[in-house]
Chains A and B, each alone.
Chain A
Amino acid sequence: MNSQAINILIVMAVYFAAMMFFLYFVAFRMAKKTAEDYHMASREFKMIVLFFTIFGTNISAVALVGAPGSSYHVGWVTWAYYVSSWAWLSPLLFYLIGNRAWVLGKRHGFMTQADVISGRWKSNFLSYLIGIICLVYTVPYVMIGAMGGGQIFAGLTNGFIPYWLGAAIIMVMVTIYVVIGGMRGTAWTNVVETCIFLLGAIMMLVFVGWKLGGPETATSMIQKDMPYLLTREKFSILTFFSFGFIVSLAVPMFPQVFIRLLVGESRREFRKMCIIYPLAGLVIWFVVCYTGMWGHLLIPGLAGKDAEQIMPMLLSRYAPTWVSGLLGASMLAGAMSCMDAQILTVSTLVYKDFLSRSKKGQALSELTRVRFSQWMIVSVCVVAYILALTRPMAILLLVNWSFAGFAALLVPMLAALYWKRCTKTAVIASILVSQAILIGVPLKLLPASLTFGMLPGFSAMFFGAVTLVVFTYVTRPQEKSAIEGFFGEFAKVKERSWR
């Protein structure tokens, strides 16, 4: 066995043991055996845990693998792609949605988007529709997490630990602590994982910069040999423009993020989280994208998707073995921080949007509900692992659509929380129209001209919003008492700013 592989395995084993020990003291001993505690940690997180669990769920394989790979090919524009939009616009939307959704969650036990939207119109159909959409887009993401873990392991050990084994190691580790810890466990592991990843990524950038003789030298070399990495000529401005909107609007509607918007102890803690989120976003994207771009100077000639291995390749070629073991573990920690949240979220969606709406589900004891959720997690992990081994293209397409699919759900969410005149029929029509465009355009069932030359998600949101407005005014408004009952919830809490 090569020393690099042994080193990585030892670091991961120590890391896992430390994590379980840590979780025992901070999470498991505090847990109550109720479904509310298992899925929402009794909604008692303060700012630090709230921030790390929300931010950690955003650090996915996209940040670890996709962004450095993209920067390798197109340059620094990749960080601007996210930082000058998502990093600040998503927290603004967290505030817009989370402020009201948090009140409803605290009062009625709402956990998911389906809870909030169907709660406005008391509609099980809406709950099932939104629940299915969220599941269809989230499950493939779990698979992508497993694939990312397998790729990172293979890259760090130069293929000694094969892809299938790397993915299996990651899945087993995550399954164990998510099953045992639930929301409390995943949130606390997010704190540790995100800190490790942030520190590891910064160290990696410093290391690569030092190898090149400093940032100024690296920039001069790029200006001379690969100026296109600075001019952004290989990147479409229309994609830059439209994806900025889509990614920013999608993030608050990712089920794993939305659920976490409701787990804060108070809105005061939630507000603090919104303030520090943009800074962390700036740091992480700046670091991984510069590592990818400068990595091009150290390891030139990677084509296409091969560039996504740039970070583990830099470590395995240039870092001392013990350093690459530690930094490699930090990359895996980053991958796990997103995957664990998604796995728990799938369980929460099935439990809350489907099981708890059936009479049988409502009759179950709290302990049985927790056990059901735990078995659900194991099942999701097994399915995701099998899918990760087969790497089906259809599933990968779903992941590409998922950003836009979640962004389109923002329209009905805002309507449910803010628009009194809006009707149930309009919301259902809006959801169906936007999802039909998202699926119909890439499959050529609908004309490409519907996208106005931008990403399909942009037009899906536009036509979804238009449908919502038109159907709202051609259908009968909701009963006045129902509207007052729902919006009265917000009036009970003093919301000076909303008046």
Chain B
Amino acid sequence: MREVMVYVIAGLLMIFRADWWWWGKATPIVLFGWLSVAEVYQLGIFIVGWALVFYAAYGVWKIDDKDEEGVS
């Protein structure tokens, strides 16, 4: 179930990364004097996606030493 949630969230992120509400418009520069709101938003999508990778790898995909023993 947790794994399904990971891929549902991934799907939602992929939809909302297309930020149509300010596409084609100028957005204010808000970070370091050179990154706009739209860029920060895209960075935010990336960070949430990266967190999902972390969660999938360590929260869902648990491996202990014995896990590898069945494979030869």
Binding site for B on A (CB under 8 A): 76, 79-80, 83-85, 87-89, 91-92, 95-96, 99, 103, 106-107, 215-216, 218-219, 223, 227, 230-233, 237, 240-241, 244-245, 248, 266-268, 271, 274-275, 277-279, 282, 492-498
Contacts and interface: CB of A to CB of B under 8 A. Distances in A.
Given A84-B46, A231-B24, 19 more contacts: A79-B42, A80-B17, A87-B49, A89-B10, A92-B7, A92-B52, A99-B61, A216-B33, A231-B25, A232-B24, A237-B20, A267-B61, A268-B68, A274-B53, A278-B50, A282-B46, A492-B71, A493-B70, A493-B71
A240 B52 CA distance: 21
Interface string B21-50: 001111101001110101100110110011
A493 B46 contact: no
A83 B14 contact: no
Contact of A245 (B3, B14, B34, B49): B14
A92 B34 contact: no
A87 B2 CA distance: 22
Nearest to B65: A268
Count chain A CB atoms within 10 A of each CB in B23, B33, B71 and give the residue with the most.
Answer: B71
A481 B20 CA distance: 50
Contacts of B20: 237
B72 A106 contact: yes
A425 to B, nearest CB: 27
A267 B67 contact: yes
Contacts of A92: 6-7, 10, 49, 52-53, 56
A25 B44 CA distance: 43
A88 B42 contact: no
Contact of A497 (B3, B71, B72): B3
Contacts of A96: 7
B50 A95 contact: no
B60 interface: yes
Nearest to B19: A237
10 contacts: A84-B42, A95-B57, A106-B71, A223-B29, A227-B26, A230-B36, A237-B23, A244-B18, A266-B68, A492-B71
A271 B61 contact: yes
A232 B17 contact: no
Given A215-B33, A218-B34, A267 B63 contact: yes
Given A88-B52, A219-B29, A244-B17, A83 B67 contact: no
Contacts of B27: 230
A227 B29 CA distance: 12
B14 A85 contact: yes
Contact of B53 (A91, A223, A232): A91
Given A106-B72, A232-B38, A278 B67 contact: no
A223 B34 CA distance: 10
Contacts of A230: 26-27, 36
A271 B57 contact: yes
A54 B61 CA distance: 20
Given A84-B42, A89-B14, A267-B67, A232 B23 contact: yes
B18 A497 contact: no
Contacts of B42: 79-80, 83-84
Contact of A275 (B3, B25, B57, B63): B57
Nearest to B55: A92
A237 B18 contact: yes
Contact of B32 (A106, A215, A231): A215
A432 to B, nearest CB: 27
Contacts of B10: 89, 92
A261 to B, nearest CB: 14
